[in-house]
Structure 1
Amino acid sequence: MFAMARLMVIGFVVLTIVYVCLSFYSRAVRRGKLNAKWDEEGMTGDKDAWVQEGLKDYDGSLRRKLILGVYIIPVILMITIIYLTNFS
């Protein structure tokens, strides 16, 4: 039982590191796309405020929530493997 708890804690830490890295990467890509769109369309006004507004919209988007699959998919996969190993 202690081995399972240790596996879960280490797995949670690793998945959290992956989630944070993926979140930062995805946000940086979105920021780059917003900056490119600003430059491409030749908009006027405050560029930083426009980019921040776009990132605020991104924070509520479905793509941002799909990154939580980093936690869900490995857990479901592990449960399925354990079940199939023990009860098949």
Structure 2
Amino acid sequence: MFALARLVVVGFIVLTVIYVCLSFYSRAVRKGKLRQKWQVGPQKVDRETFVQRGLEKYDGSIRRKLILGVYVVPVVVVGVIIYLTNFS
């Protein structure tokens, strides 16, 4: 039982680190694309305002929510492996 608790705690910590890194990376990529889009297109507002508005839209997007799959997918895979190991 102690091994399972240790697996859950360490797994949660590792998945949280991966989630945070992936979130920062995804946001940085989106910010870079918004800056590039501002340079190519018509500049009706200043760059920082354009990027801020774009990031606000990104925060509500489905792509941002899909990053939460970092928690779901590994838990399901480990659960399936444990089930198959014990009951097959």
Pairwise CA distance, 1:46? 1.9
Structure 1: distance between partners of 2:33 and 2:45: 18
Does residue 64 (structure 1) correspond to residue 60 (structure 2)? The answer is: no
Deviates more, 1:73-82 or 1:40-49: 40-49
User: What percent identity do the matched residue pairs reach?
Assistant: 65
Deviates more, 1:40-49 or 1:10-19: 40-49
Matched positions, count: 88
With the length of structure 1 as denominator, give the TM-score of the two structures. 0.97
Name 1:14's counterpart in structure 2.
Answer: 14
What does 1:1-88 correspond to in 2, within 5 Å? 1-88=1-88
Note the residue ranges of structure 2 that are not aligned, 5 or more in a row: none
With the length of structure 2 as denominator, give the TM-score of the two structures. 0.97
1:17-46: CA deviation from partner (whole Å, max 9, x where unpaired): 000000000000000000000001131322
Structure 2: distance between partners of 1:30 and 1:21: 14
Pairwise CA distance, 1:49? 1.1
Structure 1: distance between partners of 2:27 and 2:21: 10
Structure 1: distance between partners of 2:62 and 2:28: 17
SS at the partner of 1:12? helix
Structure 2: distance between partners of 1:62 and 1:76: 21
